[in-house]
Structure 1
Amino acid sequence: MSCWSENYHFIKEVYDFRVEEMNKWMDALEESSKKLITNKVYTSREFRRMRDQFRYQCKNLKREEVKQWLHDMLKLLNQKSDQSLEAEKKRLEALHQRHIEMLPGIEENMRKVDVYSRCYQYVDDITPLVKLLEELRRKSTEEIHPDSTEHVASFIENQEAVIAKIEEKRGEFAQLIKRGEKLAGQADCPDFLKEQVKGLSELFKDSEEKAKKKLETLKRNETAWKEFEDGKVNIVNLLDQADEKLRNIRKLFDPKAGAEDVALRLEIAAKTRGANEACLKKLMGNVEIICGICSADKKEEVLKTIAGFEERNKVLDKTDERIAKLKKYTEDLQAFVDKKDASMAWLQQGEDMLNELLKFPGEDKSDEKLLMTVKMQKNMETQLNTLAWLVTESERLLGGKSNSIAEAHMLDVQKIKVKLEELNQKLTDVCGDISEDLHHWADYQAELKVFQPWLTQCEERIKGGLKKPNSLIEAQEMQKSVIEFDADIKSRLASLDKMTETVSKMTQHDKADREITECRDRRQAAETVCCEWVQRMEKLVKQWEELSNTVTEVQGWVAAAAKVADDPEADVVDGTLNKLKTYFAEKQKLVQAL
């Protein structure tokens, strides 16, 4: 005990220092545990530094001499009963208890730190692959502007190298994913590891997809460039051919051959348009693909090239327009030839008609001769109009054309003109003698065309007869109508007289005389019937009016007698009634006779 007493101050200093250091170690250890066992993500370098410090602290805390010193000091203090040491006993016991309680937690934290350490090591191990994949993805997404087939081929080669590199790393990627999933399956695995595993998987997949997509885009662009170059050659050839076809469109002066030529050209034009438009459409599709990634200057150049092709392709519209005009010309030429041939055929018919007119029999068929002359004149007028049209059309369609067929058509028109003028002169000479007859004949025909329909209507009315009236008013209206009908029939006699006077001025008018005589007889027959109708209606209306007056008279008597309450004389009444019966019976007989 003398040693304790003699060295108390020194021992006390050592004791205080050690207690203080013990508390600092345990405070630092707890702080280190909190920093390490957390969701915060450190860099690998930061984590290793904190991990090494934690392990060193744990090593000091677990040393046997520390444990022994705490035990000895606690035992020594327990042997003392001095009241002044009670506080130190409690302080040392609390320190000892804290040390005992911290050891299990520290061991658990050391195990967790080991897991975290493996996770951070995993992150370090995948970092080179992540950087590589990010670089490959960047290459797959960076903008490129290939301006030719050679440029595209170079980019394709580079992109295939990118895909090959990704494929080369597939095994390493699979191993790292498997290792990461195993680590992530541990109970104390930090959350950031799962995110790292998921991020690596998504990065690899995204890099691969973007690389393949870019390669596909480049290959499609390469195909578009090749097809564009070939298509330019094809469209130029097609456009040259279309220009040549347009230059070769010529008029044919044979309408049959012209129609066949137009049909063939329409068919060729349709096929040419189909081929040109299909080629241009394909070129436009290629240009759309090319312009998707090429440079702005190349895009402007390519679009300008396409615009030039589209402008040249307007030759198809010009061809269609030229063929449409050619078709119209051929149709007009066919109409011209048809009328020319018809006129040439009529020349012989006209000559035959003129000869027949000159040989026509005399007086007994003068009307027929007149009709034939009128018909001949009308035909001649039509042919002269046709000749004028043929002359105009021949100049429009064939004038100035140095072609044997065109010259033949022109010669035919000249022949028609000479022959037709000759026939017209002969017809004029023949018609000079009967020109006045033609004038009177026309006047007569005009009157006859009005008279004959009226006569037919008149006969139809007479055929229908008179209807039986049901009242005096109706009978009076019928009488008025019959009188007007009779007046109309009588007035028509003047028209017949006018026709008679007109035909009498003609040199030959036998047929007209017969027609007028027939019309006179029919009108006279109608007038006879109508006169009889007028007499019947006058008699009927008169009888009916007397009957009506008598009835009115009787009604007046009856009304007067009723007022004075006196009956009229029987003789007067009987006489009036007998008169009524007589009038009524007579009226009925006249009605039945209609």
Structure 2
Amino acid sequence: MGCFLKTRAPVHPAVNGYRVLAGRRSRSLPEGFTFWLASKAYSRPLLDHPCKSLCRDLEKEATKSWLDMMLDKLSAHSNDNEDNLSGRDKAVKAQEKKKLEAMIERHSGLMGPTMEAQSKVVHYSECYSFGDDIHPVMKVLNEQRHLSCKEIHPHNMDMCEEQIEKQEKVLRTIENQAPIYNELKRRGQKLMSNPNAPSFLEREIKKLDETWKDTNTKAQERISLLNFTMKDWEGYEKQRQEIYTPIEALEEQFKTYKRIYDPKKGSDWLERKKKKVTEFKKTGLEIYEVITKCFKTIVGLAGEDKREFMEKEIVEIDERKNIIDKVDKTLAELTEFNKS
């Protein structure tokens, strides 16, 4: 019995590590655990195995029962033979009993803090697992955000349509991540409700939320821009062909202009011509306004390096549109002639 008491049972390595951390910073055992667990340098397996092993050892009923039995035997043995012992032996026995009582007290004292630390280990392990699980989602979201932000310069309808198809694929990819994101958000909120939640957990959740919102915003902005541009392309191509109808009508009218020397006939003739010109001119200018508005949008996305190439079509329309000024000028001259 004396040999047992003089031989200190080895302390679990995990406890030594925790005590060192606590001792260096004047912390208690639970505080040392908290500091150790909160460090991102420790991986999930490193958190799980030592502490769980330690807690299993401390929870063994046989260990506590054996210590209690040894104390009872020592007490009984000391009482039975105490009369035959010398003063020195009595002192040794008392000292050994005191050591055993201290060991029992130490065991009992470790149980509470260690179980508390085990609870923190489980929670921190779940937090690290959460951090590991969001990385694949973050990777997908960052990739889709990059695709939604990278420069594109479609300079015709086919290219614009191709970009729309690509962006719709991006949106489908993001949509497929929605169930995973919602589940991770639920897990994160549950983990954050624990008062022992580590500070890095809040950062991870915030980063996930911001990335999700930003990726969705960028993707929606890109598809809206492309759809709007595609609509302008369609309007541009359609109106670019339709504008020639009123322009050609004005050109035909211009060919018929002549001086009429009879004031009455000349006045009636001019009124008919002006009425026709007003209709053709109004239609032509409205179409031209739509063309220039659409062109401004599509050339803005196509890029400045494509502007000169694309403006050739506008230059051709501008040259044909000059017929409006010619008609106005000629009709004004004929009106003055008819008045004189």
TM over 0.5: yes
Q: Does 1:226 align with 2:234?
A: yes
Q: Which residue of 1 aligns with 2:51?
A: 54
Aligned residue type for 1:306: I
Aligned residue type for 2:34: I
Q: Which residue of 2 aligns with 1:258?
A: 266
Q: CA 1:36/1:162 → structure 2, altered by over 3 Å: closer, same or farther?
A: farther
Q: Does 1:274 align with 2:282?
A: yes
- Normalising by the residue count of structure 2, what TM-score does the alignment of the two structures yield? 0.76
The percent of aligned pairs where both chains have the same amino acid is 25
Q: Does 1:26 align with 2:15?
A: yes
Separation (CA, whole Å) in 2 of partners of 1:228 and 1:254? 45
Q: CA 1:66/1:282 → structure 2, altered by over 3 Å: closer, same or farther?
A: same
Aligned residue type for 1:26: V
Q: Does 1:42 align with 2:48?
A: no
Given that 1:58 and 1:106 are in contact with CA atoms closer than 8 Å, whether structure 2 keeps it comes out as yes
Deviation larger for 53-62 or 110-119: 53-62
Q: CA 1:86/1:303 → structure 2, altered by over 3 Å: closer, same or farther?
A: farther
C-alpha deviations, 1:514-537, integer Å up to 9, x for none?
xxxxxxxxxxxxxxxxxxxxxxxx
Q: Does 1:293 align with 2:291?
A: no
Gap regions ≥5 residues in structure 1:
333-594
Matches within 5 A, 1:319-358: 319-332=327-340
C-alpha deviations, 1:294-343, integer Å up to 9, x for none?
133323323343244334423322221121111111111xxxxxxxxxxx
Separation (CA, whole Å) in 2 of partners of 1:266 and 1:304? 31
Q: CA 1:269/1:129 → structure 2, altered by over 3 Å: closer, same or farther?
A: same
Separation (CA, whole Å) in 1 of partners of 2:337 and 2:92? 140
How much has 1:142 moved relative to structure 2? 2.1
Q: Does 1:135 align with 2:143?
A: yes
Q: Which residue of 1 aligns with 2:25?
A: none
Given that 1:145 and 1:293 are in contact with CA atoms closer than 8 Å, whether structure 2 keeps it comes out as yes
Q: CA 1:244/1:22 → structure 2, altered by over 3 Å: closer, same or farther?
A: same
Matches within 5 A, 1:512-551: none
Q: Which residue of 2 aligns with 1:462?
A: none
Q: Does 1:314 align with 2:322?
A: yes
Given that 1:238 and 1:276 are in contact with CA atoms closer than 8 Å, whether structure 2 keeps it comes out as yes
Separation (CA, whole Å) in 2 of partners of 1:74 and 1:311? 115
Q: Does 1:153 align with 2:161?
A: yes
Separation (CA, whole Å) in 1 of partners of 2:14 and 2:73? 22
SS at match of 1:313: helix
Matches within 5 A, 1:176-195: 176-195=184-203
SS at match of 1:154: helix
Matches within 5 A, 1:164-243: 164-243=172-251
Aligned residue type for 1:255: P
Q: Which has the higher contact order (CA 8 A, sep 6+)?
A: 2
Given that 1:122 and 1:180 are in contact with CA atoms closer than 8 Å, whether structure 2 keeps it comes out as yes
C-alpha deviations, 1:74-96, integer Å up to 9, x for none?
98799684779999988876666
Gap regions ≥5 residues in structure 2:
23-29, 79-86
Q: Does 1:247 align with 2:255?
A: yes
Q: Does 1:109 align with 2:117?
A: yes
How much has 1:104 moved relative to structure 2? 0.1
- Normalising by the residue count of structure 1, what TM-score does the alignment of the two structures yield? 0.46
Q: How many residues align?
A: 320
Given that 1:29 and 1:54 are in contact with CA atoms closer than 8 Å, whether structure 2 keeps it comes out as no
Given that 2:12 and 2:54 are in contact with CA atoms closer than 8 Å, whether structure 1 keeps it comes out as no
Separation (CA, whole Å) in 2 of partners of 1:219 and 1:41? 48
Separation (CA, whole Å) in 2 of partners of 1:41 and 1:288? 55
SS at match of 2:196: coil
- Choose 1 or 2 for highest CA Rg: 1
SS at match of 1:292: helix
CA-atom RMSD in angstroms: 3.8
Q: CA 1:307/1:40 → structure 2, altered by over 3 Å: closer, same or farther?
A: farther
How much has 1:290 moved relative to structure 2? 1.0
How much has 1:286 moved relative to structure 2? 0.8
Aligned residue type for 2:138: V
Separation (CA, whole Å) in 2 of partners of 1:67 and 1:26? 21
Given that 1:116 and 1:189 are in contact with CA atoms closer than 8 Å, whether structure 2 keeps it comes out as yes
Separation (CA, whole Å) in 2 of partners of 1:197 and 1:230? 50
Aligned residue type for 1:37: T
Aligned residue type for 2:159: H
C-alpha deviations, 1:153-176, integer Å up to 9, x for none?
111112222222333333333333
Separation (CA, whole Å) in 1 of partners of 2:17 and 2:167? 54
Q: CA 1:85/1:267 → structure 2, altered by over 3 Å: closer, same or farther?
A: farther
Separation (CA, whole Å) in 1 of partners of 2:93 and 2:128? 49
Aligned residue type for 2:52: R
Aligned residue type for 2:16: D
Separation (CA, whole Å) in 1 of partners of 2:69 and 2:315? 100
